[in-house]
């Protein structure tokens, strides 16, 4: 397994590299987002450890560019602050998970291993027996984080897939933004729950015929959202 570490603080980068190698990973360190994008463009990595605060383009921008290039390598973002806004910004940019600094090594390795086995989460979605769900004629392949439409196959980030799976699991029920933040993102703190809305907009674009007049992923005024396939 080959891991790319994007981190400009040398002692942190070295610490991560040392420990990854001790666990049997191959690890490469780069210290800017620009070089990271070049490396990812030319070499296949199994995961990317991505610091947010970098000289030049920041970690958010790196994640955004990767996803825009249809590269869905698992990304674990390292945030200096555990502000929920930063965490959500990271997920919006396309990160799969985050870890606030400073972190304990065991937790870091557990998160990384979780990302490397990320398909396993699909099995915890009880309704998706064969790992597939159909919404509006589009097939959501939970295990592979893909959506098959008449236009082709579209990749989903882990968070997009988790949110969609959560809505499927609670189909027919109105779920609040706060509940979504807690259950899907694991955020307990008070935060701007409107950040959820950006994800809903993205899901509607891929699920609905007319995203501005949704038939399946509906807004429930004063509460949040409800998925209905009937």
Interaction site with Ca ion (CB under 5 A): 8, 51, 53
> Are residues 27 and 11 in contact, defined by beta-carbon separation less than 8 angstroms?
no
Taking the least distance from each CB to Ca ion, the nearer of 8 and 228 is: 8
In terms of DSSP bridges, do strands 217-220 and 224-227 run parallel, antiparallel, or are they unpaired? antiparallel
- Minimum Å gap between C-beta 52 and Ca ion is 7
Taking the least distance from each CB to Ca ion, the nearer of 8 and 183 is: 8
Check whether the bond before 102 is cis (ω within 30° of 0).
Answer: yes
Burial class (CB in 10 A: 0-12, 13-18, 19+), 59: buried
How far apart, in whole angstroms, are the C-alpha atoms of residue 150 and residue 172?
26
Taking the least distance from each CB to Ca ion, the nearer of 53 and 116 is: 53
- Minimum Å gap between C-beta 36 and Ca ion is 12
DSSP string, 154-215: EE--HHHHHHHHHHHHTTTS-EEHHHHHHHTS---S---TTHHHHHHHHHHHHH-SSTTS-S
> Are residues 74 and 46 in contact, defined by beta-carbon separation less than 8 angstroms?
yes
Taking the least distance from each CB to Ca ion, the nearer of 8 and 46 is: 8
- Minimum Å gap between C-beta 90 and Ca ion is 14
- Minimum Å gap between C-beta 152 and Ca ion is 37
Taking the least distance from each CB to Ca ion, the nearer of 11 and 44 is: 11
Taking the least distance from each CB to Ca ion, the nearer of 62 and 165 is: 62
In terms of DSSP bridges, do strands 146-149 and 152-155 run parallel, antiparallel, or are they unpaired? antiparallel
First to last CA, the chain: 44
Q: Which residue is nearest to Ca ion (CB)?
A: 53
Q: Residue count of the chain, please give it.
A: 230
* Residue 195 tokens, joined: 């950040």
- Minimum Å gap between C-beta 28 and Ca ion is 17
- Minimum Å gap between C-beta 53 and Ca ion is 4
């Amino acid at each position: 397994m080959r891991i790319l570490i994007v981190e400009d603080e040398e002692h942190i980068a070295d610490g991560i590299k040392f420990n990854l190698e001790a666990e049997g990973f191959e690890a490469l360190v780069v210290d800017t987002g620009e070089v990271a994008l070049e490396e990812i463009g030319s070499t296949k990595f199994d995961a990317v450890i991505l610091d947010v605060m970098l000289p030049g383009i920041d970690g958010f921008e790196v994640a955004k560019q990767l996803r825009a290039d249809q590269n869905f390598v698992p990304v674990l973002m390292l945030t200096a602050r555990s502000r929920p806004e930063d965490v959500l910004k990271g997920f919006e940019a396309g990160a799969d998970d985050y870890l606030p600094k400073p972190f304990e090594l065991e937790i870091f390795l557990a998160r990384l291993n979780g990302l490397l086995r990320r398909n396993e989460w699909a099995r915890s979605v009880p309704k998706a027996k064969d790992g597939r769900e159909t919404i509006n004629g589009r097939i959501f392949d939970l295990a592979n984080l893909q959506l098959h439409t008449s236009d082709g196959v579209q990749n989903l980030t882990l968070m997009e897939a988790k949110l969609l799976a959560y809505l499927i699991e609670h189909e027919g029920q109105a779920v609040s933004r706060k509940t979504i933040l807690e259950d899907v993102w694991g955020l307990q703190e008070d935060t701007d729950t409107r950040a959820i809305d950006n994800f809903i907009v993205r899901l509607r674009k891929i699920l609905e015929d007319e995203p501005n007049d949704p038939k399946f992923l509906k807004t429930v005024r004063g509460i949040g959202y409800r998925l209905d396939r009937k």
